[in-house]
Copies of this chain bind each other. A is one copy, B any other.
Amino acid sequence: MENDSNCGCGTNGSCKGEQNSTCGCTNGSCEGEQKTASSDEGKHPPEMLALNEFSNVKNVIAIMSGKGGVGKSSVTSLLACGFRKKGFEVGVLDADITGPSLPKMFGVKGNPEQVAFGLLPLESSSGIKVMSVNLLMPVEDDPVIWRGPLLGKMVGQFWTDVVWTDLDYLFVDLPPGTGDVPLTVMQSLPLNGLIIVTSPQELAAMIVNKAIKMAKLMDIPILGLVENMSAAVCPKCGEEFQLFGPGHGKEISERFNIPFLGSLPIDPRLSTLCDQGRVEDYESSLFTDFIPQQIRE
């Protein structure tokens, strides 16, 4: 009987058990017996279920922005950190090849380990699972090659192949923009919600409008808007001040009837921590009180 990489059966072909969409077996009787390397035996239970039973992700939340450079990766990382601090099991999926590397921000290095039943994500010091397209791209590869369909395929495989284990929340850092590339990535995952990141330097109304259309197209709730970079924190006196006059995030949120999740100021301490791979050490109350109402816990 046939099996493929999506099925956790390994290569010996004795595949039995119920066929499902994750398992690629075609005969309908896949047992899903895992063939584990002996070195893994201590770490992973020898009896493995099919991949989708081993990974149980309750909520997949995508973070989008109108363009690059608005701090979307910072927001994604801080969302993950905030939820982790509340005790949830959390993962991040970095699908943005143009932006900062989330593994780098979390200080995790190395290649994800391929085991029989899938790809093991990297893990941060506070236990956040991290996977990134940047980890699997060949060095010096031309980013232009990674257009929507190819990126979508890779992200889709992250969903099926990565051993996320039990997660309450998986945050996905989308490619920037509201065009085909982020849309294709969004369509590669079973999303439960969408968060929009805006900055004062762009037409936020236009972006939110577009995001709402995309979310409606895919029947995903918009969980809210985060305004980034409208303020800054002085490292000397701690004053937080607006950079370009009053921010418009709250106003935009009200206009489009979506929740305003808050404003993230530019803080040199955050930039420094991210450069050092210590985003988890950043003190921020921004997302610790945010539990999306529309999604299950």
Interface residue ranges, A against B (CB under 8 Å): 68-70, 201-202, 232, 234-237, 239, 241-245, 266, 268, 271-272, 275
Across-interface contacts of A242 in B (CB, < 8 A): 268
Q: Which of B201, B202, B271 contacts A245 (CB 8 A)?
A: B271
Give, as a whole number of angstroms, the nearest-CB distance from A92 to chain B: 21
A236/B239 contact (C-beta < 8 A), A69-B202, A244-B266, A244-B271 known = yes
The 10 A-B residue pairs with the shortest CB-CB distance in the complex, in nearest-first order: A69-B201, A234-B234, A236-B239, A237-B237, A232-B232, A244-B271, A243-B266, A245-B271, A235-B241, A236-B237
Q: Across the interface, which residues of B come within 8 angstroms of A237, CB to CB?
A: 234, 236-237, 239
Known contacts A201-B69, A202-B69; decide if A241 and B234 are in contact (CB<8 Å): yes
**In the complex, what distance in Å separates the CA atom of A271 from the CA atom of B245?**
7
Q: How far apart are A244's CB and chain B's nearest CB, in angstroms?
A: 5
Q: How long is the Cα–Cα vector from A291 to B68 in the complex, in angstroms? A: 35
Distance between A275 CB and nearest chain B CB, rounded to angstroms = 6
Given contacts A69-B201, A201-B69, A202-B69, contact A235 B245 (CB under 8 A): no
- List of B residues within 8 angstroms of A241 by Cβ: 234-236, 268
**What are the residues of chain B within 8 A of A266 when measuring CB–CB?**
232, 243-244
Question: In the complex, how many angstroms separate the beta carbon of A200 from the nearest chain B beta carbon?
Answer: 8
Contact B245 A239 (CB under 8 A): no
Bound-state Cα–Cα, A244 to B100, Å:
12
